[in-house]
Amino acid sequence: MSEREVLESLRENARYSAADIARMTDLEEAEVEATIEELEAAGVVRGYQAVVDWDKLADERVRAEVELNVTLDRETGYDDIAERLARFPEVKALRLISGDYDFDMEVEGDSIREVSQFISEKVAPVPEITQTVTHYVMTSYKENGIELGDGEDDDRLSFSP
């Protein structure tokens, strides 16, 4: 039985029932239910979320990608900094990455002012953080593997060989 098949189905649509996943994977429904329960109990599946197209709502959210550079010392490691930052509800995602900066942090708020204040008053003062660079999200075209928008804005010409 493939845990990966069940996980991929749940990632595609977390609202699939065990019966739906069983049909798609040729597994027994009871096997799918047991697999999901095991994955949840083991902490592999951490939750289920809706993918929201905020541009479709009057109540928009301001989102930003924030690059963070840090300096480590003998007592403080990446995990310590990540643990401190991840506690803030404004932080929607936090990743240690390779490249020109150390962390990539996704932040949400009700306004640019709120996001800016959060970064300047809560994130930047963390002693190990040496630099922040904030990029505000203007438009999202795809979130968690799902294309957003109405799909009718594609004015490219069709091509068929």
**Cα gap 2→35, rounded to integer Å:** 9
Domains detected in the chain? 1-42 (1.10.10.10), 54-143 (3.30.70.920)
pTM of the full structure:
0.72
pLDDT on residue 99: 94
Residue linked to tokens 């010409």: 157
pLDDT digits (tens, 9 = 90+) for 2-60: 888 888 888 888 889 999 999 888 888 899 989 988 888 988 988 887 777 777 777 77
Longest dimension (CA), the chain: 61
What is the CA 89 to chain-centroid distance, rounded? 13
Residue type, 27: L
pLDDT digits (tens, 9 = 90+) for 68-94: 999 998 999 999 999 999 999 999 999
pLDDT for 63 beyond 90: yes
- Check if the beta carbon of residue 81 is closer than 8 Å to that of residue 123: no
Name the 3-class secondary structure at 129: strand
